[in-house]
């Protein structure tokens, strides 16, 4: 799959007293980008939940390279870096025009909604497996 792109507009609620986007808001933007990335790939959280499966972020490494401001139109990019039977590793970035403002490497794992670890669903492994 190629790089997925998702637009995000910055609203007053996303900013802090300085007029810059509050650092925790970037986590929401990354989450929206991951959700839409999966949705566009035909993978829906509600369907997975019906199977007793959910995703949890296992780890995230974030680099803040620049600040976004109110009314900015940003783009969240998401792409698969690696996948195994237990983990999906994604590379994400938030850009204003062509300028990268924030970067993240995210490790997502499958869990059972009843509790405990789960194997990555087969449809996800198949969908994102590297092509030879």
pLDDT at 31 (0 to 100): 97
pLDDT of residue 19: 87
Query: Which tokens in the block code for residue 92?
Result: 């994400």
The residue from 16, 40, 65, 71 that is catalytic is 16
Domain boundaries, the chain: 4-128
- Backbone phi and psi for residue 128, each to the nearest 5 degrees, phi listed first: -110, 5
Given a contact cutoff of 8 angstroms between Cβ atoms, the answer to whether 107 and 67 are in contact is no
Q: In what order do the strands lie in the sheet with 53-64?
A: 4-9, 73-83, 87-96, 99-112, 53-64
Contacts of 40 (CB under 8 A, 6+ apart): 4
pLDDT score, position 66: 96
| pLDDT score recorded for residue 1 | 58
**Residues with pLDDT less than 70, the chain:** 1
Residues 6+ apart with CB under 8 A from 46: none
pLDDT value at position 129? 86
**What whole-number distance in Å separates Cα of residue 102 and Cα of residue 65?**
5
Neighbours of 129 (CB within 10 A): 10
pLDDT of residue 52: 93
Detail the DSSP E strand segments found in the chain.
4-9, 53-64, 73-83, 87-96, 99-112
Single pTM value for the model: 0.92
Give yes or no: 16 in active site.
yes
- The CATH topology of domain 4-128 is Thiol Ester Dehydrase; Chain A (3.10.129)
């Amino acid at each position: 799959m190629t790089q997925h792109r998702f637009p995000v507009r910055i609203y007053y609620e996303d900013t802090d007293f300085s007029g810059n986007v509050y650092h925790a808001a970037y986590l929401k933007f990354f989450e929206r980008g991951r959700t839409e990335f999966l949705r566009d790939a035909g993978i829906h959280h509600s369907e997975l939940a019906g199977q007793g499966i959910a995703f949890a972020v296992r780890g995230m490494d974030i680099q803040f390279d620049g600040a976004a401001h109110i009314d900015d139109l940003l783009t969240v990019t998401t792409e698969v870096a690696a996948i195994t039977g237990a983990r999906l590793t994604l590379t994400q970035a938030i850009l204003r025009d062509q300028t990268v403002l924030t970067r993240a490497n995210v490790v997502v794992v499958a869990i059972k909604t009843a509790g405990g670890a789960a194997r990555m669903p087969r449809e996800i492994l198949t969908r994102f497996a590297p092509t030879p």
